[in-house]
Amino acid sequence: MKHVTNSLQVREIREPADFEMLRSAWFRLLEHVPGYRLFLSPQWHLAAWEWRAEDAELYCLVVEAGQDIVAILPLVRDSALKYGLKLHRLAYLTVPDTQFADMICSRDVAQAAAAAFASHLAEQQDWDQLQFSHLDKQAMVQEFLLPALRKQGLLASEGVTDSNAWLGLASGWDAYYATRSRRLKKGNNHAGNRLRKQFADIQVERVRVEAAEVNACLDRLVQVSAASWKKSTGLTLDNTGPQAFIRRLTGELAGQGQVVIWSLVLDGQAVACEYQLHHDGQIYALRADYDTAFEAWSPGTYLFWQILMQVCEEGGERYWMGPGDNPYKARWLESGEPLQRFTVYGRTVRGRILGLLDRHVKPLVHSLRNMKDSNKS
């Protein structure tokens, strides 16, 4: 399917084989995206699709100028119930491990590409809701595509802010650790003392994964993840989707110094692991798990402490802890990169009803409930 806007054509990519074939064009586009992150790479999205294929279908859009692909917008389509409505939803291709997202193109063609994407999307009747997330302040989706969608007359929710926590590495460990709270340092020392009293052999191992080591490294990672407290979430690596994602991603990037796995090994048994991606001075912590059978000895806390102690002494720019707020991150982080989420409502009947309910009825009900609670108090 093609749609023409000012000599640009929009084509839908619905088949996984065709999605794979975008790889070379994708790499060419990334050459014109200064400071791009691995989360915009074809390897990342191909791995993410391995997971999302369980519950969604591809809906990737590309903008072409003649025979050349000049922009890529990797979307997926699924269905869900909300307010009793069965909705057809489009969303950027993300997984829970995603830290950043954006349309793939050079900034000098972003406005024209966004107009083409928006015109195409506005004409389609096969979606009711379109969601974007993980958009940082430089995201071209936020700067160009959302205004273009609004220009087409589509309603969009206001942005919801999240944050990707980070801490700086350049100052070195001593300077950084001096800024941490006394409570944090006391907790770390206590964890170390308890481990040394209980276990004769304590090893912190780091592996920069080579192609020949992928299966062995991931088998250990999966084993620890399967014993994690996160088991009930369905997101641990012994589940089909998450494991397909991590194996594809690791296979794509192994041997380039970009995949690093840390393990805490107690008396020969791996009890905690962290999976990282390294790129251009940035360290992205994707997953951290520990075996709950060893929870009393705080293996996750100890491993994280030892990891930071080493990476802070090796240069680099930032260590990214991932989106989401929790008290544990707050003890370590120095700041966070704001991330925006938006919802756009389609022109279908269900899309219009959903927009009305989300934008007007739901806030009104929430306000009335708050007023009622205030009167009670």
- Among 58, 66, 61, 133, smallest CA distance to 102 is for 133
Between β-strands 259-266 and 269-279, what pairing exists: parallel, antiparallel or unpaired? antiparallel
> What is the rounded distance in angstroms from the CA atom of residue 302 to the CA atom of residue 110?
45
pTM of the full predicted structure?
Answer: 0.93
Its sign, for the CA torsion 237, 242, 244, 245, is negative
Do 88 and 50 contact (CB within 8 A), yes or no? no
Q: Give Cα 331 distance to the centre of its chain.
A: 22
> What is the rounded distance in angstroms from the CA atom of residue 287 to the CA atom of residue 274?
6
DSSP readout, 127-182?
Answer: -SEEEEEEE-TT-HIIIIIHHHHHHTT-EEPPPEEEEEEEEE-TT-HHHHHTTS-H
> What is the rounded distance in angstroms from the CA atom of residue 86 to the CA atom of residue 353?
12
Q: Would you put residue 109 in left (φ > 0), alpha (ψ -120 to 50) or beta?
A: alpha
Cβ atoms within 10 Å, residue 103: 27
* Structural domains for the chain: 2-162+338-376 (3.40.630.30), 170-316 (3.40.630.30)
User: What is the model's pLDDT at position 368?
Assistant: 65
Q: Give Cα 267 distance to the centre of its chain.
A: 34
List Cβ<8 Å contacts ≥24 apart for 49-52. Answer: 49/16, 49/19, 49/76, 49/93, 50/241, 50/244, 50/245, 50/247, 50/248, 51/95, 51/241, 51/242, 51/244, 51/245, 52/76, 52/93, 52/95, 52/241
Per residue, the 3-state secondary structure of 218-247, as one string, reads HHHHHHHHHCCHHHHHCCCCCCHHHHHHHH
User: What is the model's pLDDT at position 4?
Assistant: 45
Residue 121 CB partners (closer than 8 Å, separation 6+): 61, 90, 127, 130, 149, 152, 154
Q: Which mean pLDDT values do the consecutive 10-residue runs of the chain (377 residues) have?
A: 68 98 97 88 98 98 96 98 95 98 96 98 98 96 97 91 93 95 95 97 98 96 96 95 98 97 98 97 96 97 97 93 87 94 96 90 70 64
Burial label, 352 (beta-carbon count in 10 A; 0-12, 13-18, 19+): middle
Do 164 and 340 contact (CB within 8 A), yes or no? no
- Amino acid letter for position 88: H
Q: Give Cα 172 distance to the centre of its chain.
A: 27
DSSP readout, 299-333?
Answer: HHHHHHHHHHHHHTTS--SEEEEEES--HHHHHH-
Cβ atoms within 10 Å, residue 175: 11
Do 357 and 206 contact (CB within 8 A), yes or no? no
Q: Enter the tokens of residue 176.
A: 């950084």
- Among 23, 22, 24, 26, smallest CA distance to 12 is for 22
